[in-house]
Amino acid sequence: MNRVMVLIIHDRAIDEEVGDLLSALDLQYYTKWKDVVGVGEKDPHLGDHVWPGLNNVTMVVVEEGKEEKLMKSVKALQAAFPSVGLRAFVVPVLDAV
> 27-68, pLDDT tens digit by residue?
999 999 999 999 987 788 898 999 999 999 999 999 999 999
Is pTM beyond 0.75 here?
yes
- Cβ distance 58 to 30 under 8 Å? yes
Distance of CA 97 to the CA centre of its chain: 23
- Encode burial over 52-76: b for 16+ CB neighbours within 10 A, e otherwise: ebbbbbbebbbeeeebeebeebbee
Name which residue leads in pLDDT, 43 or 96: 96
Q: Was domain 3-93 assigned CATH 3.30.1330.60?
A: no
* Percent residues over pLDDT 70 in the chain: 100
- Write down the H helix ranges in 1-97: 15-24, 67-80
- Cβ distance 85 to 11 under 8 Å? yes
